[in-house]
Amino acid sequence: MAEKRYLLTPGPTPVPPEVLAELAKPIIHHRERDFREIYQRCLSRLQDVYRTRNDVLLFTTSGTGAFESAVANLTSPGDRQLVLSAGNFGERWAGMAKAFGADLVHARLEWGETPEPEDLRSALADAGDVKVVYLTHSETSTGVVCDVQALTAVAKEAGAFVVVDAVSSLGAVPLESDLWGVDVVVSGSQKALMCPPGLGFASVSGAALEAAAGAGATRYVMDWERTRKGQAKLDSPFTPAVSLVRALDVALGLLLNEGLEAAFDRHARLGRACREGAKAMGLELFSPDEERSAVVTAIRAPDGVDSTEIVKELRDRFGITIANGQGSLKGKIFRIGHIGWFDIFDITTALAAVELVLADAGAEIERGIAVTRALEAWAEHTPV
Amino acid sequence: MAEKRYLLTPGPTPVPPEVLAELAKPIIHHRERDFREIYQRCLSRLQDVYRTRNDVLLFTTSGTGAFESAVANLTSPGDRQLVLSAGNFGERWAGMAKAFGADLVHARLEWGETPEPEDLRSALADAGDVKVVYLTHSETSTGVVCDVQALTAVAKEAGAFVVVDAVSSLGAVPLESDLWGVDVVVSGSQKALMCPPGLGFASVSGAALEAAAGAGATRYVMDWERTRKGQAKLDSPFTPAVSLVRALDVALGLLLNEGLEAAFDRHARLGRACREGAKAMGLELFSPDEERSAVVTAIRAPDGVDSTEIVKELRDRFGITIANGQGSLKGKIFRIGHIGWFDIFDITTALAAVELVLADAGAEIERGIAVTRALEAWAEHTPV
């Protein structure tokens, strides 16, 4: 029999069959009305998912490319900018802001900590006049989801633009771009939006667009104003990945049809089920044991077991792909993603297989309760 | 009946069913061995199609993004660079080099002219010490394919790096990256490579890589050295468009299976058939009537007919998409693409429909010979 495969990483994530089928449709021309209709609906659905009336600019690029659009459009060399980081993707903001010549203030927490408003307030006070603050909504490397609403309020008080990495959070946990006053939200197609990788997005407030007009960093394909002008006429300035755009349109339709609140509730329950199952077999969580941890569950490898081996065994024996730790957490934690096209049986599959692999590795774990405990936790609904 | 569609533009181009089917396969993780195997084969096939032993760097971006990788990695503000342009895509090189702060010398020919070695020689002599020369192999806006081999020789004599836009030429007309000594060749997935848009490439010589290390322009996701290092370990630095990469792998397999020489011959015959058919009905060619014109045939609208109307009628009555002129040629010429997954009946379809639309518009054209003449021309083989 051909091996079955299970993709349980925090991105790229599994894509529903309706979306895969859309990818296989014949190519259409990007300046043709067939495409314009899809493009328009897709851009409008993105606004719905973002909960914004700002333009959501769509780029053919990776999630990191969407990051870059923000840095390249908001930076003039020498600008004072602040990154509040507690993991790999926060580090990426810092590396990029530096590469673009910002006078970077890097407020660096330990990987796995949750950035709190007080951390930001004191970093801003120390730094003085900060023009841009970069935040990471869901730090995929650690499983931490921070309180972007509270952090944004602190940054706005200090008069800074707020740029949020929502690559793994958009569509999975609540994010109110306009209500919370976030200037720029960047995201990508390959996480909770249930699409293949290849499209990146940035919602941009009017004030941020204005600031971009005066920003000196060089950029061309990801220039915001050029992209905005093109989108206003439904005329992408450069050939977009038409197959991915039509797939995204279908995927966003599925998400909005489920309803954002229902999707948030489902993700919260998936996260809870995963945590409860892991704890039931005696494992220690690395990501916080709280409702917001709805994107990825990071779990410490038990004493004497290398998480690299857990990941490898799952892949080799069962065709299951989960994620190792990144950076210095490699070998120490493993990560189970549950964003996008996931239901409870993806979680029970992951838990059952982890249980077996750990037992065979001689780890002291409790057998036979993880799956049942996960199913029980899943049954509890989150009050909206 | 559902309307049949015919995509006959010079890009994006039709994609074979085997490639479309590949797009619909479940997502795999980009750091997993299933993907690494595909990635490795794809990168190696790209080298075969490029006819280079240099690394071909693969980016998730449009063709213009591949342009930008070249400019961003080779430019320090103030560098003297030269663009030899004769159409829309040459203009793009110029706009981009300027955006990145180059001290630009723009040798601008009329749109539709063929850049000749003498044009480049005199422009270089006038300009003095030029560090980089940007060329356009196939100028898609006009249908002109220039002699990149001869132009490269002139630029190398002057000690400049040579960067070639081969977005619409790669795989359609001969291009010997290494034999001709081209430093950087940029291309994209959506033309003769028979894939959807979304992937851009740059082959980079050792000398160009070295120069990039000292170039001051900012870049991040399209940084050559970061990409090269990742590819050397089959570990893309950022999440690539995995679906497009596996589609490209299959498409390149189809192309290499046909054989590059056979593909070049086929494209030359398609171009010849298109020109002969157009001339037979009394139309005047805009693109040169020569063997190299194998990418796109540009045809002048007959007196009294607006080419915008021809394009619109073909679309509205028959579901056929061809291209209008760009810039000041809009309304004056129309363009039939024949790159990639094209055979002679795509050409006869285009000619038959154009004939009907023009006759109905009252143009004085010859009826009933274009298709036959095209079939005759197609039958003549190009001596290799």
Distance CA B195, CA B146 (A): 24
Residue predicted with more confidence, B106 or A2: B106
Q: How many helices (H) and strands (E) does chain B have?
A: 13, 14
Query: Cβ contact (<8 Å) for A220 and B71?
Result: yes
Please name the helix (run of DSSP H) or strand (run of DSSP E) that holds residue A108, with its range, or none.
strand A103-108
Query: Cβ contact (<8 Å) for B30 and A20?
Result: no
Which of helix, strand or coil describes residue A230? helix
Query: Cβ contact (<8 Å) for A220 and B96?
Result: yes
Can you say whether the dihedral through the CA atoms of A79, A82, A87, A90 is positive or negative? negative
Query: Cβ contact (<8 Å) for B100 and A220?
Result: yes
CA–CA distances in Å: residue B191 to residues A36, A366, B91: 21, 57, 20
Residues of chain A found within 8 Å of residue B29, distances taken between Cβ atoms: 7, 9, 12, 321
Between strands A138-139 and A144-145, the pairing is antiparallel
- Tens digit of pLDDT at every position of chain B (384 positions): 778 999 999 999 999 999 999 999 999 999 999 999 999 999 999 999 999 999 999 999 999 999 999 999 999 999 999 999 999 999 999 999 999 999 999 999 999 999 999 999 999 999 999 999 999 999 999 999 999 999 999 999 999 999 999 999 999 999 999 999 999 999 999 999 999 999 999 999 999 999 999 998 999 999 999 999 999 999 999 999 999 999 999 999 999 999 999 999 999 999 999 999 999 999 999 999 999 999 999 999 999 999 999 999 999 999 999 999 999 999 999 999 999 999 999 999 999 999 999 999 999 999 999 999 999 999 987 555
Query: Cβ contact (<8 Å) for A198 and B198?
Result: yes
Measured in angstroms, the CA of A15 and the nearest CA of chain B are apart by: 7
With beta carbons less than 8 A apart as the criterion, state whether B246 and B347 touch: no
> Which residues 6+ apart lie within 8 Å of B282 measured at CB?
B302, B364, B365, B366
Distance CA B35, CA A74 (A): 35
ipTM: 0.97
Query: Cβ contact (<8 Å) for B62 and A238?
Result: yes
Distance CA A137, CA B176 (A): 48
Query: Cβ contact (<8 Å) for A243 and B13?
Result: no
Nearest CA in chain B to A239: B62
Report the residue of A243, A322, A336 to disrupt the B interface, i.e. the one with the largest count of B CBs within 10 Å.
Answer: A243
Query: Cβ contact (<8 Å) for B220 and A100?
Result: yes
With beta carbons less than 8 A apart as the criterion, state whether B80 and B103 touch: yes
pLDDT at A382: 59
Nearest CA in chain A to B75: A218
Residues of chain A with CATH 3.40.640.10: 17-257
pLDDT at A2: 72
Give A24-58 pLDDT, tens digit per residue.
Answer: 999 999 999 999 999 999 999 999 999 999 999 99
Residues of chain B found within 8 Å of residue A190, distances taken between Cβ atoms: 27, 239
Please indicate, yes or no, whether the overall pTM of this predicted structure exceeds 0.95: yes
Residues of chain A found within 8 Å of residue B6, distances taken between Cβ atoms: none
Please give the full DSSP string across B148-204, using - where no structure is assigned: HHHHHHHHHHTT-EEEEE-TTTTTTS---TTTTT-SEEEEETTSTT---S-EEEEEE
Give A81-120 pLDDT, tens digit per residue.
Answer: 999 999 999 999 999 999 999 999 999 999 999 999 999 9
Which CATH code is given to the segment(s) A17-257? Answer: 3.40.640.10
Query: Cβ contact (<8 Å) for B244 and A244?
Result: yes
State the CATH architecture for B259-379: Alpha-Beta Complex (3.90)
pLDDT at A1: 72
Residues of chain B found within 8 Å of residue A239, distances taken between Cβ atoms: 11-12, 62-64, 188, 190, 197
Residues of chain B found within 8 Å of residue A218, distances taken between Cβ atoms: 72, 99-101, 217-218
Measured in angstroms, the CA of A365 and the nearest CA of chain B are apart by: 28
Query: Cβ contact (<8 Å) for B221 and A65?
Result: yes
> Which residues 6+ apart lie within 8 Å of B141 measured at CB?
B87, B88, B89, B111, B325, B326, B327, B329
Measured in angstroms, the CA of A107 and the nearest CA of chain B are apart by: 22
Query: Cβ contact (<8 Å) for A7 and B14?
Result: no
pLDDT at B383: 56
Nearest CA in chain B to A62: B239
Report the residue of A18, A60, A100, A341 to disrupt the B interface, i.e. the one with the largest count of B CBs within 10 Å.
Answer: A60
Nearest CA in chain A to B14: A27
Measured in angstroms, the CA of A181 and the nearest CA of chain B are apart by: 28
Provide the number of CB pairs (under 8 Å) joining chain A to chain B. 177
In this prediction, residue A383 has a pLDDT band, given cuts at 50, 70 and 90, of low
